[in-house]
Structure 1
Amino acid sequence: MNNTQLTGLLEQMTLEEKIAQMLQLVVSYFVESEVDGQITGPMESLGITEETVNQVGSALGIGGAARVIQVQQNHMKNDRLGIPMLFMADIVHGYKTIFPIPLAIGCSWDQDLAEQSAAIAAKESAVSGLHVTFAPMVDLVRDPRWGRVMESTGEDPYLNSLFARSFVRGFQGDDLASDVNRVAACVKHFAAYGAGEGGREYNTVDLSERQLREYYLPAYKAALEEGCELVMTSFNTVHGSPATGNRTLMRDILRTEFGFDGVLISDWGAVIELIAHGVAEDEEQAAFLAIQAGVDIEMMTSCYVKYLPELVRSGKVDESLIDEAVRRILHLKNKLGLFENPLRGADPEAEREIVFCDEHRAASRELASKSCVLLKNTNVLPLQSEQQIALIGPFAQSKDILGSWSWTGAEEHFMNLHEAIQGRITSSKVLSAEGSGIDTITEKQIQEAVEIARQSDVIVLALGESSLMSGEGGSRTDIRLPEAQLQLIATLRTLEKPIVVVLFNGRPLDLHGVEDQVDAVLEAWFPGSEGASAITDILYGDVNPSGRLSMSFPQSVGQIPVYYNHFNTGRPKKESEPDNRYASQYLDSPNEPLYPFGYGLSYTQFKYDDMVLSSEEMTSDLPLQITTKITNTGNMPGEEVVQLYIRDITGEVVRPMKELKAYSKVLLQPGECIEVSFTVTEEQLKYHHYDLSYTSDAGEFAVFVGPNSRDAVERRFRLLK
């Protein structure tokens, strides 16, 4: 359908039909009753009619080709103009084949594998009938108390931006119209949802314009530059106004400044929540504020369909606002090829062949192994096949390893950690006991754990959070392991056997009672469908861990927020003055995180030779070349993530102590030495100044190259202007 035909279709629509296109309902509204064949659902609670449901533009939370086909065909019979529905869902880190949670994917520092994971999720989703995924979530997060940190790729705007691009490319491909194996991506949550006060879900956000632009907006902008088709509003306030009704944010920044002309959809119930926020008196005013802000689709509330018709007829809302929203919705449907083929890629037969196939599971296993981060190892890992292992803990035989937003995961078809280890070594070499529940422990559990631990050479503890302890609505003030698991560690420590902890969790944790009590810590996150196999690969040295943290681990919750790219202060803590009370510090804790951004160990060792700069001066026309040599001094092949950071020593406004500007992931054989080079341009030195102009400062800069944000070699150069 060309633009002229789309305009003609829009002209045929009544006002009510247009506004119905702007409503999204869950799939239960479209299921026919087995009793009377009528469309059922809790329509009364939303104050809508069956006629409105027949005209609705999109459905939420459906899956399965046969079901989608049935709902779409029924809809096409009932819609006067035969306009197909869009089917959308939260396919965040996999459809049936579940990949590691996004925070873990961020720790892979592997953009290609991230893109592949999104492409596989898109392929499985599309053949199962979906058109749109509510992903990627690119919210920058500095507070691990927030449950949805598991959906982010971390605390750094540059790294988040790279992954935002990778996910959008993977979901959408090059041509949505011709490639039915892809789905449209919806970047979320615009904007700054990850900055909620106290790490509390749905909470207030209060940022300066500079902070918003410098740290929180870049990843959204990167997704849009990659062609992301939809944007979802966030629940929070931005500069005192809820995002869903924030005209400055949505019209001025998103539409005008960023040039976004795709579909803007509210998050679940966010339009009506303008009332609770205190900026709308009632549903009518909520509808008015949201349409003025440019929200095209209202998800799961009915303010638009109930009040926009009269607002238009009374002249309070110009119908052109309705037309522009509906035109964008129709354009997306057209881009997906739905007018020619309303069923698009939905195919039950192909679905059986494609979904959770061996190829996809292998990709999930590879990404899981690249996402695990080895945090501590005192020569106990890798394990040896002949060692007797005591596998203990609530995750030893649990399949709760997918994490939040894995609602479509094929849970019955993958292994737990005990099964995976048994498949790797002689089964008699691994004994298993629960040891404790997630947050409960009994004397019997302790006795069973101690008994098998005494028979073993090494204790492997599979510990962590349940999947419900993170994700949406999963904010926590205490981010330590539950006391039951800490008690289990303390008990087994008395046996004086080597202890390896494998962590399953959706956030950086306070590891007191863990890190200081055990010999090795492997952060596995929620690793997905093939996570148990990937962990086994690492534990036994079949894979050398290469993950690096994309978010800092705090010493304790009292430090939060703790992040690497912080400002200096007028009274920084100095190593040369350890007894100076009047410095920016805690009396009872270091300032630094337990494990910094970019950190991760390997089974081999890497030696960095001196960094060489091509010049001590650079200009906009003469970039700086930075070179260092990396040698694998161990006896095992390994991947190193060589990281480059910059600091503007004297800026117009205060600049961070370090900012990630580039990295290179390199594979080295034992004894191999390679040269890694980076090019630093003036563009990389720009930032938002006091007047929000985006430019650079002449003067001195520090450049750091190293294996993480803490352990890096520093050199200086000057930018001449």
Structure 2
Amino acid sequence: MLPQDQSVAPAALPLRPPYLDPAAPLDTRVADLLSRMTPREKVGQLNQRMYGWDACRRTPDGDFELTEALYAETDRFEGLGALYGLMRADAWSGVDHPDGPGVEDSADLADLVQRHVRERSRLRIPALFVEEVPHGHMALDSTVLPVNLAVGATWDPGLYERAAAHAAAELRARGGHVALVSALDIARDPRWGRTEECFGEDPYLAARLTEALVRGMQGVGELFASDKAPVVLKHFAGQGATVGGRNSAESELGLRELHEIHLPAARAGVRAGAAAVMAAYNEVDGLPCSGNRALLTGLLRDRWGFQGLVMADGLAVDRLARITGDKVSAGALALDAGVDLSLWDEGFTHLEEAVERGLVSEAALDAAVARVLRLKFRLGLFERPYTHRVSVPEHAGRALSTDLARACVTLLHDTGGVLPLGPSVRSVAVLGPHAATTAHQLGDYTAPQRPGRGASVLDGLRRLAPPGTDVRHARGTALTGDERTGIPEAVAAAAASDLAVLVLGGSSARTPDTEFDANGAARTVVSEMTCGEGVDLAGLRLGEAQYALLDAVIATGTPTVVALIQGRPHAVPEAADRAAALLTAWYPGPWGGEAIAEVLLGLADPVGRLPVSVPRSAAQLPVHYNHKDIEYGTYVDADAGPLYSFGHGLSYTTFAYDPPRLSGQSVTVDVTNTGKRRGRTVVQLYIRRLVTPVWPRTLELRGFRSVDLAPGECRTVTLPLGAGRLAQVGADLETAVLPGTVEIRIAESARAALTAVPVVVRLDGGQNFTAPADTPL
């Protein structure tokens, strides 16, 4: 017992209990603290009930004070296990400038709350402060990065790792501890509003970026440095394949599809050392993920050896009452399945009763508490419960955000040969609903931005265009609806210019009049919101007025470049067919407009590559490249193939790829820049299985490497093979290198790989492979 218990003489107590000894092994500290806790205190560690913004309020003199709601919550369980969103700012939380915590006072607020939590805890157990970090910390004045889909378009794990490290440093400097980051969802249906939160449609690309995320945010080692943050990887598993692209719907996935497509990123994150994962909303084979013991314990813990924390998504535990009959048994089901920490649920508040009633074992309760405590020890919160005050340079965050934005801009076609803009272009009309705003470049889960922060496409062109260039502007239309009154002004500006830049797309910008579900998803779409959580589409069309604007501008005869800013691959075949050039930048962040301008002007090469296939219409779905290798027929009324394939992206130069060749345990290819400008190509390695124990996919990405070449330069690019790249999911659902024959294809995109000259290798089921001369190419 501790000195706080007056029934025991202080002289009889050890000076330092083992759990407070920083030199003691972590297991010893966890076990000692757990042995001292009451059932009520244990249950409190597993609850994350409060919305953090309800824990405090700003006083008239500008300071923060704690609320009665926080007092009640900490009294309820004699402390607090975790607090979600203390610094979250957005339309749902209602936090904005100037009432919310900014860079200058977030750490003071976090320390104020932490001091109160420790005072209310008999054992002085600190709280975890859990924050949303989907593409930068979702707090006022934090760096906003491009969304995950844009990160996927960079094909650059190294750059993303540096950006993730910066986001973690900002989070910790402001008093946050744990980062919730989407990484595991695979974009298999672009109608889903959360497509922007996916790295793309491919499990291999997503796995490499998930590893980069974990390395960047967490660093290495068991203990977290003061500028590193444990990551909660969202969402486990299969949420990117819900029926009809509808949020939180069921996922009709066979186990093979789950293992081949939706689990590799999670497994990569676990192997990289991810501290936690979040159970998804959807169900797998009839059982919701938050209550799915086969998934959370049988697979994640027993087979993969994961020892970290499992968090439920918001109110997901209470949803289990639909199948258990009440929230007490719902909490018991989730705990027994493997959930350690709830989010806003009532079910976990009744775990003491659930144990007493025999609905779940005390051992399961203790195991979950131990995992929560272990994370707190790994963060050093018992020795350093308050914020390590450091300054994280704002300019560094802006530079990284801009670098990512520049790297995600993807040139889809330039049939008119108008890019980059040449000296003959003396006047440019910058048109469209995205042309002069940064609000729609940011994506969902973004804090309010201060006026003037960021750069639109119009801003970028006006600042960077050669002196004397006349840059005109007309909005033309809104993002949504069919209002066309502004089109004549846009047409006049285009007709009077040498070139038109038409900036179209969608938006995930929430507004204060958005109606929200209890978990923060948009319930009713308002204003110009066309994407984001809760904003699912039956079709993939833009607002109809945007197509009318596109038709009218192109009809002027002025060469037109269409730039798409979007959170999903919208269907705009009209731009593909009729615009002189087409590019997409996804949601490129605050400074994305400047990055787009740099690419248009040739100050930067377009180096992005598609992380998803782009459909011609929603009627074609699915169009992902790695479907099963079956002779699919076409449609009678439409082409069945994508408009642009996964991996596609053009440069301002051209490249030639020689046939690949084996070299030891690697494959090499000579790549030559055959154009007149320096440029970067992404060398993509695909495999096509010929002889295999299970039915194969048409192609599978198994490696990639970027190479930057001067005009005329040739370089040999080496891509390693081996178990990690040649393995497949076998009939027993285990991943291993199985005997068979595969083709290795190297190309610039999935579509190009279909006709690339392959090298054929025979696998012996181990680490060895050969290139048999008698195998036809």
TM-score (norm 2): 0.85
- Identity value in percent: 36
Given candidates 441, 459, 466, the residue that maps to 1:419 is: 459
Distance 1:259 1:89, change over 3 A: same
Q: Deviations over 1:588-628 (max 9, x none)?
A: 222221100110011111112233345xxxxxxxx554332
Given candidates 356, 372, 381, the residue that maps to 1:338 is: 381
Distance 1:227 1:515 in 2: 43
Distance 2:552 2:428 in 1: 17
Indicate conservation of the 8 Å contact 1:390/1:460, yes or no. yes
Report which stretch shifted further, 681-690 or 594-603.
681-690
Q: Counterpart of 2:410 in structure 1: which amino acid?
A: V
Indicate conservation of the 8 Å contact 1:29/1:40, yes or no. no
Distance 1:701 1:32 in 2: 62
SS at match of 2:112: helix
Aligned to 1:148: 194
Distance 1:611 1:522 in 2: 30
Aligned to 1:714: 757
Aligned to 1:609: 658
Aligned to 2:561: 500
Superposed displacement of residue 443, structure 1: 4.9
Q: Does 1:430 align with 2:454?
A: no
- Counterparts in 2 of 1:169-248, with a 5 A limit? 169-175=215-221, 177=223, 179-248=225-294
Q: Does 1:7 align with 2:7?
A: no
Indicate conservation of the 8 Å contact 1:338/1:344, yes or no. no
SS at match of 1:469: coil
Given candidates 557, 560, 565, the residue that maps to 2:626 is: 565
Superposed displacement of residue 689, structure 1: 2.4
Q: Does 1:28 align with 2:53?
A: yes
Distance 1:515 1:201 in 2: 29
Q: Counterpart of 1:31 in structure 2: which amino acid?
A: C
- Counterparts in 2 of 1:504-543, with a 5 A limit? 504-543=565-604
Indicate conservation of the 8 Å contact 2:426/2:468, yes or no. no
Distance 1:250 1:287 in 2: 15
Q: Deviations over 1:98-132 (max 9, x none)?
A: 11111111111111001011011111111111111
Distance 1:417 1:330 in 2: 48
Indicate conservation of the 8 Å contact 2:504/2:546, yes or no. yes
Distance 2:214 2:301 in 1: 19
Distance 1:495 1:502 in 2: 18
- Counterparts in 2 of 1:467-482, with a 5 A limit? 467=508, 468-482=529-543
Aligned to 2:118: 76
SS at match of 1:135: strand
Indicate conservation of the 8 Å contact 1:604/1:634, yes or no. yes
Distance 1:279 1:558, change over 3 A: same
Superposed displacement of residue 632, structure 1: 0.8
- Counterparts in 2 of 1:305-704, with a 5 A limit? 305=349, 307-345=350-388, 347=389, 350=390, 353-354=391-392, 357-378=394-415, 379-384=417-422, 386-400=425-439, 401-407=441-447, 412-425=452-465, 426=467, 429-440=470-481, 442-467=483-508, 468-569=529-630, 572=631, 584-613=633-662, 625-681=666-722, 684-704=725-745
Distance 1:521 1:457 in 2: 17
Aligned to 1:51: 75
Distance 1:344 1:328 in 2: 22
Indicate conservation of the 8 Å contact 1:391/1:432, yes or no. yes
Q: Counterpart of 1:22 in structure 2: which amino acid?
A: L
Report which stretch shifted further, 550-559 or 709-718.
709-718
Distance 1:296 1:720, change over 3 A: closer
Superposed displacement of residue 444, structure 1: 3.9
Aligned to 1:285: 329
Q: Counterpart of 1:402 in structure 2: which amino acid?
A: L
User: What RMSD over aligned residues (CA atoms) do the two structures have, in Å?
Assistant: 2.2
SS at match of 1:662: strand
Superposed displacement of residue 692, structure 1: 2.6
Distance 2:111 2:696 in 1: 54
Superposed displacement of residue 206, structure 1: 1.9
Indicate conservation of the 8 Å contact 1:503/1:522, yes or no. yes
Superposed displacement of residue 65, structure 1: 2.0
Distance 2:330 2:174 in 1: 35
Report which stretch shifted further, 99-108 or 25-34.
25-34
| Runs (5+) with no aligned partner, structure 1 | 574-583, 615-622
SS at match of 1:666: strand
Superposed displacement of residue 447, structure 1: 1.9
Distance 2:443 2:249 in 1: 23
Q: Counterpart of 2:277 in structure 1: which amino acid?
A: V
Distance 1:209 1:413 in 2: 46
Distance 1:267 1:201 in 2: 13
Indicate conservation of the 8 Å contact 2:484/2:545, yes or no. no
Superposed displacement of residue 54, structure 1: 5.4
Indicate conservation of the 8 Å contact 1:136/1:185, yes or no. no
Aligned to 1:61: 85
Report which stretch shifted further, 634-643 or 129-138.
129-138
Distance 1:57 1:392, change over 3 A: same
Superposed displacement of residue 8, structure 1: 2.5
Aligned to 1:579: none
Q: Deviations over 1:176-222 (max 9, x none)?
A: 74521111111111111111011110000121111111111111010
Superposed displacement of residue 316, structure 1: 3.4
Alignment length (residue pairs): 688
TM-score (norm 1): 0.91
Distance 1:176 1:532 in 2: 40
Distance 1:513 1:181 in 2: 47
Superposed displacement of residue 717, structure 1: 2.0
Distance 1:642 1:410, change over 3 A: farther
Report which stretch shifted further, 692-701 or 20-29.
692-701
Distance 1:670 1:88, change over 3 A: same
Distance 2:460 2:128 in 1: 40
Superposed displacement of residue 428, structure 1: 5.7
Q: Counterpart of 2:583 in structure 1: which amino acid?
A: L
Distance 1:682 1:20, change over 3 A: closer
SS at match of 1:671: coil
Aligned to 2:772: none
Indicate conservation of the 8 Å contact 1:197/1:203, yes or no. yes
SS at match of 1:279: helix
Superposed displacement of residue 34, structure 1: 6.2
Indicate conservation of the 8 Å contact 2:317/2:342, yes or no. yes
Distance 1:708 1:15, change over 3 A: same
Distance 2:577 2:179 in 1: 41
SS at match of 2:360: coil
Report which stretch shifted further, 434-443 or 478-487.
434-443
Aligned to 1:299: 343
Distance 2:587 2:687 in 1: 32
